[in-house]
Amino acid sequence: MTLTKIKRTAFAGAVNAGEAVAALAPVVRRHSCAAIGCMMAGAFADHSGSLSWWCVYHAGARPMDFARVTSVLNQHHTLRDAIVRLRQLSADEALEPDVVNREFASVRQNLDVNGYRITPKVETWRGWQYSVEIEMGRLVLEAMRRAPV
């Protein structure tokens, strides 16, 4: 299953992109990734009819690699937790800006204390969110390249 197919499935039936995002938002927040042991939020639906949702890392992986992907996500739990927290912050529009800023500072400090050197191109918390997710993707790909095929 390709990522493009998953995205098409997730957005099927929507009249336009805005409607698709609005329809997906509450579902994405409600569902966890279907891979066993994965604590990421599901972001992509599959088209098996099982209503499974997959995080971006499992959605892009071969089923035979699922356990190894989960292992990398759990090994880098500080990064994983930062991704989950930053996504929660971006999804909750009811939060006061000072609460968001405090939480964001806490996420950054936790990454720093645990040795993750994240340098976003844009020094906003969305820039951080993007950079943290990219770093996890790099670590997952690195682990897949190292492992025997």
Contacts with Zn ion, residue ranges (CB under 5 A): 33, 35, 38, 40, 55, 58
**Which CB sits closer to Zn ion, 74 or 124?**
74
**Which CB sits closer to Zn ion, 46 or 89?**
46
Closest CB 73 distance from Zn ion, rounded Å = 7
Taking CA atoms, 65 is separated from 103, 138, 143, in Å, by 33, 15, 10
Closest CB 17 distance from Zn ion, rounded Å = 24
Closest CB 21 distance from Zn ion, rounded Å = 21
**Which CB sits closer to Zn ion, 84 or 95?**
84
- DSSP, residue by residue, 5-48: HHHHHHHTT-SSHHHHHHHHHHHHHHPBPSSTT--SBP-EE-SS
